[in-house]
Amino acid sequence: MTSDPARRMTQALRDGGVRVTRQREALLKVLTEAADHPDAAELHRRARALDDSLSLATVYRTLSVLEREGVVLRLPLENGGARYEVADAPHHDHIVDLDSGQITEFRSEKIEQLQREIAAELGFEIVHHRMELYCRKKT
Amino acid sequence: MTSDPARRMTQALRDGGVRVTRQREALLKVLTEAADHPDAAELHRRARALDDSLSLATVYRTLSVLEREGVVLRLPLENGGARYEVADAPHHDHIVDLDSGQITEFRSEKIEQLQREIAAELGFEIVHHRMELYCRKKT
DNA sequence: CTTAGTGCAAATAATTTGCAGGAGG
DNA sequence: CCTCCTGCAAATTATTTGCACTAAG
């Protein structure tokens, strides 16, 4: 059984005709083990512990491959700069804590439904969407 | 009466203790007359017609002043790069046409309400939020 | 007058790309 | 072995900043 998520993902890549290299495995491991939402530089830092030679350029190249393969999700935030997460969980949106920078996930079927209705009314079909609530902890 | 929106905005700036220069007036005029959502470079191009000496650096500096003063809204999109709009209309969100790049505005009180509820449940207070639907014209 | 605002050019920050060598399948 | 992948450094893109000068109030 492919119980290990990283293993399942490498398999998905191989099936997609993408080579699974040492550096890609390192990055996948770091991604699956990340509880937070790291940016490219942070992923690079962490993955280097597993593969010292890994370059930042490859991190970027790999992230875009993984995104294309549907294995990771890139979330570009307000300040420019993007954060990444594995695309295993069902779709969700994000709350960004303005003070700590921490990201909380949430999901609302109702909102998704409303979005679809609104787009349809205007003659559009949603390909994907983004929603971020920039918040502060309630006192 | 301050019927002219550009005039009302310059007044708002003066009240805020911000100097209203020739280049700022040019930019404000271009902004208020823009039916679309131009980026900084495009605003520069258009405003140059009114003030030939206006530099791109000043466009950026002015845009961030105007944003701080609550006169314009900056909307950073997925590809990096931001678009701008005057902050006169009530809050709304955006539909981005993936094919043409054109932006359509919409507003849903229901969604806003749901967002507030969700944030509150998680112990947050929304400071501001962003929602973009990346769409394709329905066939 | 006083100091915020400006143009210019150089500096950042995040990401991308050309090239020559290296390793997956 | 034949490409796809990689590291490195240089290139891009969007934006910011230091400096000496100009102009708003």
Query: Per-residue pLDDT tens for B113-122?
Result: 999 999 999 9
Interchain pair A130, B78: CB under 8 A: yes
What pLDDT, on a 0 to 100 scale, did the predictor assign at position A2?
45
Query: If you count them, how many residues does chain B have?
Result: 139
Percentage of chain B with pLDDT > 90? 69
What pLDDT, on a 0 to 100 scale, did the predictor assign at position B2?
45
Quick one: tokens of A134? 């920039």
Q: What is the mean pLDDT of chain B?
A: 90
Quickly give B109 CA vs C11 C1' distance in Å. Answer: 44
- Across A85-92, average pLDDT: 85
Q: Tell me how close the Cα of B100 comes to any Cα of chain A, in angstroms.
A: 13
> What region does B125 belong to: left with phi over 0, alpha with psi -120 to 50, or beta?
beta
Query: Exposed e or buried b for every residue in A94-129, given b needs 16+ CB within 10 A?
Result: bbbeeeeeebbebebeebbeebeebbeeeebebeeb
C-alpha A48: how far from chain center: 19
Per-residue model confidence as pLDDT tens digits over A28-79: 999 999 989 999 999 999 999 999 999 999 999 999 999 988 889 998 888 7
CA–C1' nearest nucleotide, residue A65 = D5
Domain ranges of chain A: 5-86, 93-135
Residue B16: band (very low, low, confident or very high) from pLDDT cuts 50, 70, 90 = confident
- A2, B6, B8, B17, B91 from B12: Cα distances, Å: 62, 10, 6, 9, 19
Which run of H or E residues covers position A121?
Answer: helix A109-121
Residue B81: band (very low, low, confident or very high) from pLDDT cuts 50, 70, 90 = confident
Asked whether residue B132 carries a pLDDT value surpassing 70, the answer given is: yes
- Across B57-61, average pLDDT: 97
Percentage of chain A with pLDDT > 90? 68
- Across B51-68, average pLDDT: 95
Which residues touch A17 (CB under 8 Å, ≥6 apart)?
none
How far apart CA A124 and CA A122 sit, in angstroms, is 6
The fold for domain B5-86 equals: Arc Repressor Mutant, subunit A (1.10.10)
Quick one: tokens of A137? 């902890």
How far apart CA B12 and CA B24 sit, in angstroms, is 13
Residue nearest to nucleotide C23 (CA to C1'): A21
Asked whether residue B1 carries a pLDDT value surpassing 80, the answer given is: no
Which residues touch B14 (CB under 8 Å, ≥6 apart)?
B20
pTM of the model: 0.81
What pLDDT, on a 0 to 100 scale, did the predictor assign at position A90?
81
Within 13 Å of residue B66, how many CA atoms lie on the same side as its CB? 31
* Size of the A and B interface in Cβ pairs below 8 Å: 105
Percentage of chain B with pLDDT > 70? 97
Pairing outcome for strands A93-97 and A124-137: parallel
Give nucleotides in strand D with any atom < 7 A to a protein C-beta. 4-10, 13-18, 23-25
Contact A91, A70 (CB under 8 A): no
Task: Pick B100 or B27 by higher pLDDT.
Answer: B27
Task: Pick A5 or A67 by higher pLDDT.
Answer: A67
Which residues touch A104 (CB under 8 Å, ≥6 apart)?
A94, A95, A97, B122, B124
The fold for domain A93-135 equals: Dna Ligase; domain 1 (3.30.1490)
Chain A residues closer than 8 Å to B129 by CB: 131-134
